[in-house]
Amino acid sequence: TMKFLLVFDFDYTVIDENSDTWIVKCAPEEKLPNKLRNSYQKGHWTEYMSRVFRYLGDSGVKEDEMKRTMTTIPFTTGMRDLLDFIGKNKDLFDCIIISDSNTVFIDWILKAANFHEVLDEVFTNPATFSGAGYLTVQNFHTHHCAKCPKNLCKRKVLEEFVDKKLHQGVKYTKIVYVGDGGNDLCPVTFLKKDDIAMPRQGYTLQKMISQMSEDLDPVQSSVLVWSSGIEILSHLKLLMKE
């Protein structure tokens, strides 16, 4: 059977914000102390977020308040329509999220909008609330990719997922990868010529893909730039007709 795999990043793709910075709205005066804000080291986002969650916990921010705040995040234009459409055509589309956010945030947001059913799997940093009510987050996995942040190589996740499905007898006709950020480039380089990379207009991923073409080292897949979920939706309709 013909089946397409849709892969979505989450922050600035499905939602029009960064969930990890949005949570700061819960902090006293909606800001973090400078010392904490400046403690981020490149490639070590999860450790940084652990400190942020500890600060929120120390400031008395409770789970229900965090949840209320997170479920007010706006979806990117047209994304709700796109997810609705995918949900109605699950016979054709498998759909996964690979994100550097965390399981708690993504669950809250998808469930509140009633989209958790649309997704076959969500790959992101595992998070839980401790007995004391503090949100704790772990690295998703370990990997050996020099290009990616230490907690998550999206290419490795995508490779392993496609491989697992192959063992279950599912071979995808096409993979469509929708993302925006620098950490989406690595999985895009995994795509083959029949696949489609969909970088968001004006964001880092699009700039990096353009740069590669200029350096005469273009990605193998076709590239379609998007700025709303509606454009992605019309493209999926075209794929269904092929």
SS3 assignment for the chain: CCCEEEEECCECCCECCCHHHHHHHHCHHHCCCHHHHCCCCCCCHHHHHHHHHHHHHHCCCCHHHHHHHHCCCCECCCHHHHHHHHHHCCCCEEEEEEEEEEHHHHHHHHHHCCCHHHCCEEEEECEEECCCCCEEECCCCCCCCCCCCCCCCHHHHHHHHHHHHHHCCCCCCEEEEEECCHHHHHHHCCCCCCCEEEEECCCHHHHHHHHHHHCCCCCCCEECCECCHHHHHHHHHHHHHC
To the question of whether residue 16 is assigned a binding role by annotation, the answer is no
Candidate list 11, 94, 184, 195, residue with the active-site label: 11
Is 64 assigned to a binding site? no
> Which of the residues 9, 94, 184, 195 is marked catalytic?
9
In the residue annotation, 9 being an active-site residue is answered as yes
- The response to whether 9 counts as a known ligand-binding position is yes
Say if residue 20 carries a ligand binding annotation: yes
> Is residue 194 flagged as an active site residue?
no
Residue 163 is assigned to a ligand binding site: no
Q: Residue positions in the annotated binding site for substrate?
A: 20, 100
Q: Which sequence positions are flagged as catalytic?
A: 9, 11
Binding residues: 9, 11, 20, 100, 180
